[in-house]
Amino acid sequence: MFLISIIVLFALGRGLVGLFRARRGIGYEIMLACVAGLILCGGLAVVAITQGWPTREVLLVGLIFSLALRWLVFRREGTTAPAGDPNVPSMPEAAPLTQALLEAMIFALLVLLPAMAREWIRVRSDAWYHAAITHEIALHGLPPEDPYFAGLPLQYMWFYHCVLVGLRSLWVPDPFIAMTLINAIALVGLGVAIADLSLALGRNEAEARRAAWVAPLGMGALFWLLLPLRALRALVGENRGSEALATVFRLSPLDISTTRQFLSDFGSHPFFLNKFLVGTAYGLALTLFVLLFAAVVRYLRESRRGDLFAAAFWLLGLFLLHPLVGVIAVIAGAAAVTGLCLLGRARGGIGVARVVPIGVAFSGAGLLALPYLLTIRGARSSAQVAPIGFDLWITIALISSAAFGLIFGLPVLRRLWGEKNPGTRFFCLVVAAIWGMAFFTRLPGPNTADKFGFLTYLPLGIAAGWWTSRHLVGARGWIALILLLGPANLIGWAGYWGDRDRRTQSADDRALHTWLADSTSTQAVVIDLRERVDIPVLAPRRVYYGSTIYASQWGYDADEIRRRRRLSELPVAGGAPIDTAQWRAASIDLGAPVLLVIRAEDLPDSAAADWFADHPDLFSRAFSSGGISVYSAPLPVGPPCCAPSLPGRVSEINHSIDMQRVRRPDSACKQIFPLPTKDLRATPES
């Protein structure tokens, strides 16, 4: 089934890639078509969901149109293109890019072995959250609510999850396997894109192929340079002593958390390949990031319209999949183009006439993505939309992550700048602009050192790959390269094999999830305790209060989140474990039945559990299995929009969603995304 899905993705993207007119060999076109196919798969899934059409049939129609478009482009190129037309380039780069594709496929296979062999690696961390949103979209349509905060519009990019819904219709068994497939395509695409960018910047075949696999391995590779400083801090710092010193060098147990702590200097992100071993859109965004700037560099070198069209498409994909990376790319690209214009043609810059087409391409992508970006922005605070600030320790973390690129890549960039041509100078200016943003931008949670860490490192890592191709050759060069890159990456990779499967689910939990899936409305909202995250994926049903980490990072109203948390924590007051009036009000306000899951382990004593059974006038027990009971409350009859409003304007928000939402019948939803049949619970890290 994997092969069928990849073939369909290739066919979907084939027609669009023909418009790029990037004749650089079959290997390059295969990669380009598969990556473009993922974006088109998500776009067609959005159309299918909003119109209530079957997703698979819409994708197959799109495939037919794509192949027809490719045939038309091929016919035009073969019959009407004059010899020497600069918009139909020759193919001297076909061989190195095809070789880069084969090498990237082998590299991706080795990297992704833990995810292919272990279900736990596929479901852990961010993958769990993405699976919940995928089920939300499949069951309830667009725009989605947050499945972890029922009634609140999702303030998170959801196009990635539409790609997952689309892949499910192409016979991919579950969202976790779909995420692994996306990561595989993204990692292969990244290698080929790095090789393409290298060739566009005038590097030779050996440099291009070396950079394709050295760049993903170099991030945090020189972690050992700061080990003495970390050891000194353990001896004389605030938390000092033998235990603190042992923590610096601890590698037991050999799991993801321990290896990350061992490799991380001052909060740096030490393992680049992590973004391809966890379910997230960021790995694919990194690939689009490189493809975008490769297209701009080629336009500056060859002035081909196809490269501008490609740049606009990749930027649109960035905005849809990961808006943060898209915004950073636009700012860095705009700053670099402005710098080229100021330099002037005599000093390797460009004139205004060449700036305008790039501006039109970038603006067109932004305008197409604007409605989507406004939807996911929601009511975020200004600090989250424009977070300005400087943090010394985060700056040190960024420098530590990129040490390999800074040491070996910066000298190459100096020579690149001296070549005085627009493409190479554009690349150098982009690197400078990204580092400037990273120094003075603070993102919510750990995202500054994480998201910016990858973007500041990657261009330098590519340049460092060129350096190794020239200076680390022969047997001694390979030994030096293995010693430089091997330890950090082998330790980080080993953590994925040794990470303990932390999924826990009792027979009572399984019975609860089965009952919720089979016997409750898809609109039902569940109050569970201790920030459990299993129900939105395994039932799947929305929950009233999901996770404090999610709430803080997505920028929800603080008062509303505190109110929900108080209600979901079941404060014991006056003999009643819950404020029944608030509970009823919440159910009315959401316009949906609110189910309360009571577990004996969560209550202070047996008397609190007996309280529910002793008040049948207030609570009706709908389910019971072992120590788990589910209660519902009788609701007054009335439309949700006329119900009393709670703090945080939930009624107003929910009513507006109901007026705009495109909902699908439950039967159709189950055909799109069947419910999980086994325990896949994992606790997210962020």
User: What angle (nearest 5°) sits at the alpha carbon of residue 256, between those of residues 255 and 261?
Assistant: 105
Q: What is the pLDDT of residue 44?
A: 97
Residues 294/189, Cβ–Cβ less than 8 Å: no
Q: What is the pLDDT of residue 149?
A: 93
Q: Is 265 exposed, middle or buried (0-12, 13-18, 19+ CB in 10 A)?
A: buried
Close Cβ partners of 512 (under 8 Å, ≥ 6 residues apart): 597, 623, 625, 628, 630
Q: Confidence band (pLDDT; 50, 70, 90) for 48?
A: very high
Q: What is the pLDDT of residue 224?
A: 87
Nearest to 685 by CA among 450, 461, 490: 450
**DSSP label at residue 152:** E
Q: What is the pLDDT of residue 371?
A: 93
Percent of the chain topping pLDDT 70:
84
More confident residue, 410 or 605: 410
Nearest to 553 by CA among 392, 378, 413: 378
Give the torsion sign (CA, 121, 130, 45, 640).
Answer: positive
Q: What is the pLDDT of residue 226?
A: 82
Mean pLDDT of 378-393: 63
Nearest to 399 by CA among 211, 267, 493: 267
User: What angle (nearest 5°) sits at the alpha carbon of residue 467, between those of residues 465 and 469?
Assistant: 75
For residue 97, what are its two tokens? 């890019």
Inform me whether the pLDDT recorded for 449 exceeds 80. no
Inform me whether the pLDDT recorded for 81 exceeds 50. no
Q: Which residue has tokens 């001297």?
A: 92
Digit-coded pLDDT (tens) for 305-344: 999 999 999 999 999 999 999 999 999 999 999 999 999 8
Q: What is the pLDDT of residue 315?
A: 98
Q: Confidence band (pLDDT; 50, 70, 90) for 402?
A: very high
Q: Within 10 Å of residue 266's Cβ, how many Cβ atoms?
A: 19
| Lowest pLDDT segment from 243-252, 370-379, 557-566, 603-612 | 603-612
Nearest to 167 by CA among 251, 326, 72, 55: 55
Q: What is the pLDDT of residue 98?
A: 92
Q: What is the pLDDT of residue 631?
A: 87
CB-side neighbour CA atoms (13 Å) of 232: 5
Q: Confidence band (pLDDT; 50, 70, 90) for 627?
A: confident
Please, which residues bridge with residue 594 across strands? 525
Inform me whether the pLDDT recorded for 157 exceeds 70. yes
Q: What is the pLDDT of residue 167?
A: 95
More confident residue, 658 or 192: 192
Q: What is the pLDDT of residue 429?
A: 97
Nearest to 417 by CA among 427, 409, 432, 402: 427
Which of 26-30, 276-280, 596-600, 610-614 is the most confident on average? 276-280
Q: Tell me how far CA of residue 34 lies from CA of 194, 307, 428, 636, 684, in angstroms.
A: 16, 18, 29, 53, 29
Q: What is the pLDDT of residue 572?
A: 46
Q: Confidence band (pLDDT; 50, 70, 90) for 672?
A: very low
Q: Confidence band (pLDDT; 50, 70, 90) for 106?
A: very high
Nearest to 95 by CA among 206, 6, 216: 206
Inform me whether the pLDDT recorded for 480 exceeds 60. yes
Inform me whether the pLDDT recorded for 666 exceeds 50. no
Mean pLDDT of 616-625: 83
Digit-coded pLDDT (tens) for 343-356: 988 888 898 889 99
Mean pLDDT of 277-288: 96
Q: What is the pLDDT of residue 680?
A: 39
Nearest to 266 by CA among 224, 228, 230: 230
Q: Confidence band (pLDDT; 50, 70, 90) for 651?
A: very low
More confident residue, 264 or 330: 330
Q: Confidence band (pLDDT; 50, 70, 90) for 447?
A: low
CA–CA distance, 275 with 457 (Å, rounded to integer): 14
Q: What is the pLDDT of residue 445?
A: 56
More confident residue, 158 or 389: 158
Q: What is the pLDDT of residue 663?
A: 36
Residues 391/448, Cβ–Cβ less than 8 Å: yes
CA–CA distance, 620 with 524 (Å, rounded to integer): 15
Inform me whether the pLDDT recorded for 446 exceeds 60. no
Q: Is 282 exposed, middle or buried (0-12, 13-18, 19+ CB in 10 A)?
A: buried
Digit-coded pLDDT (tens) for 561-593: 888 887 777 644 445 566 667 766 776 678 888
Which of 218-227, 409-418, 602-611 is the most confident on average? 409-418
Tell me the pTM.
0.88
Percent of the chain topping pLDDT 90:
55
Inform me whether the pLDDT recorded for 114 exceeds 50. yes
Rounded to the nearest angstrom, the gap between the alpha carbon of residue 278 and the centroid of all alpha carbons in its chain is 9
**Average pLDDT along the chain:** 84
Q: What is the pLDDT of residue 518?
A: 94
For residue 364, what are its two tokens? 């067109």
Q: Which residue has tokens 């909003």?
A: 50
Mean pLDDT of 626-632: 87
CA–CA distance, 536 with 130 (Å, rounded to integer): 10
Digit-coded pLDDT (tens) for 486-525: 999 999 999 999 999 988 888 999 999 999 999 999 999 9
Q: Is 459 helix (H, G, I), strand (E, B) or coil?
A: helix
The strand pair at 525-527 and 149-153 is best described as unpaired
Q: Confidence band (pLDDT; 50, 70, 90) for 405?
A: very high
Residue ranges in 170-203 assigned as alpha helix (H)? 175-200
Close Cβ partners of 605 (under 8 Å, ≥ 6 residues apart): none
Q: Confidence band (pLDDT; 50, 70, 90) for 83?
A: very low
